[in-house]
Amino acid sequence: EEGIAEGTIAVMQITGTKKHPTEAWMMYVIMRKPKGIKIISAWRYPGRTPKDARPVIPEDALEELYKLIK
């Protein structure tokens, strides 16, 4: 799905157990030159997010992500 930062892609993998569900998220951007993928961030989210909903990310973490991309 579309990442939080402009031009990024976010992917999620369900992890954990039924008793302690978690999700592993990764945000990346596809590079043109050099060709490839650049991983911007990866994090573990406690719990499960509803389908087609974004996890809550603190403002300070978002600011850091925007700095990395630009």
Q: Each residue of 36-69: pLDDT tens digit? A: 999 988 988 888 877 777 667 778 877 887 787 6
Nearest to 67 by CA among 49, 41, 45, 46: 41
- Answer whether residue 49 is part of any domain: yes
- Answer whether residue 17 is part of any domain: yes
Calpha distance 51→12 (Å, rounded): 11
- Answer whether residue 58 is part of any domain: yes
- Answer whether residue 1 is part of any domain: no
Return the sign of the alpha-carbon dihedral for residues 55, 60, 61, 65.
positive
* Mean pLDDT of the residues in the chain: 84
- Please determine, for residue 28, whether its predicted confidence score (pLDDT) is greater than 90: yes
Q: What total number of domains does the chain contain? A: 1
Domain of residue 41: give its range.
9-69
